[in-house]
């Protein structure tokens, strides 16, 4: 009986390990110096930023005056807007709730108001990946989903470079745009550090335009503060099988659990 129980436990452990997402990159840098303090995996290959793009879009939105404060503008949900995020996506939304609940249609409303030339100009100036807002070839949907498994691509290293600029207030935008973006970024706690960050999750698109829900990308990017010190981080994962939770949330939870080992 004991042997049978042991074999069962080993089988369950092996299945759990097999199902765990692959960590493609974990990168932690010192915000003051830019030095890498922890680097594991491929941190230079670009992929979709998914909802981590909301941090860059917030900077651009504040800079251009579309966003005017943590609670302005308040925009209404409209029939036909993406609603798969549940009740938090089907009500009036302000910038703080936009980031907290990762509301896709609010991002679309900002990008549509600003337009592709403005988004491209700012993304290039900030060094945000390939700054490509064209969308899926032939579909003209860049302002709706360029950042969701489409044309906009960024590497983990480029993510940390952008975030370092955000926390050191050195991006080529006004100090107010960066300050207001930092203020609405969601915060957590891990190992005595205040962790500020944004999740992102997206699924590869197959040739028939269906999505591969068993290979979702997960991001968690941001910065951590403790006793006057600031570190910037990016973690990128890819699932091995379909999961009931967002790849981004799984990645966030894994980073927070690992943080005491990652922060020297």
Contact 73, 106 (CB under 8 A): no
- Residue 159 makes CB contacts below 8 A (sequence gap 6+) with 49, 52, 219, 221, 234
Q: In angstroms, what CA-CA distances link 208 with 47, 178, 202, 205, 211? A: 20, 40, 17, 8, 9
Catalytic residue among 16, 51, 134, 210: 51
Burial class (CB in 10 A: 0-12, 13-18, 19+), 90: middle
Q: Which DSSP string do the residues of 225-238 spell out, in sequence order?
A: EETTEEEEEEEEEE
Edge-to-edge strand order for the sheet containing 217-226?
36-41, 22-30, 229-238, 217-226, 193-202, 187-190
- Residue 240 makes CB contacts below 8 A (sequence gap 6+) with 18, 19, 20, 21, 22, 214, 215
Contact 238, 215 (CB under 8 A): yes
Distance CA 160, CA 172 (A): 16
Q: Is 254 a catalytic residue?
A: no
* Residues with a known catalytic role: 51
């Amino acid at each position: 009986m004991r042997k049978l129980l042991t074999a069962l436990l080993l089988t369950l452990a092996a299945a759990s390990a097999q199902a765990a997402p692959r960590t493609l990159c974990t990168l932690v840098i010192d915000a003051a110096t830019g030095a890498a303090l922890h680097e594991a995996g491929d941190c230079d290959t670009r992929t979709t930023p998914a909802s981590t793009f909301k941090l860059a879009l917030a900077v651009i939105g504040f800079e251009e005056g579309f966003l005017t404060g943590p609670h302005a503008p308040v925009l209404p949900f409209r029939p036909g807007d993406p609603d798969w995020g549940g009740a938090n996506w089907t009500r009036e939304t302000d910038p703080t709730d936009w980031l907290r609940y990762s509301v896709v249609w609010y991002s679309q409303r900002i990008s549509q108001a600003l337009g592709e030339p403005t988004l491209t100009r700012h993304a290039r100036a900030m060094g945000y990946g390939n700054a490509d807002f064209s969308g899926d070839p032939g579909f003209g949907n860049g302002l709706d989903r360029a950042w969701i498994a489409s044309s906009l691509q960024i590497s983990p290293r480029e993510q940390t470079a952008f975030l370092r600029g955000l926390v050191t207030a050195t991006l080529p935008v006004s100090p107010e745009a960066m300050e207001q973006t930092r203020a609405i970024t969601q915060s957590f706690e891990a190992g005595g550090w205040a962790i500020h960050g944004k999740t992102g999750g997206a699924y590869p698109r197959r040739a028939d335009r269906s999505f591969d829900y068993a290979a979702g990308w997960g991001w968690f990017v941001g910065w951590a503060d403790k006793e006057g010190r600031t570190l910037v981080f990016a973690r990128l994962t890819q699932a091995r099988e379909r999961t009931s939770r967002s790849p981004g949330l799984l990645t966030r939870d894994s980073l927070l659990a690992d943080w005491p080992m990652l922060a020297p």
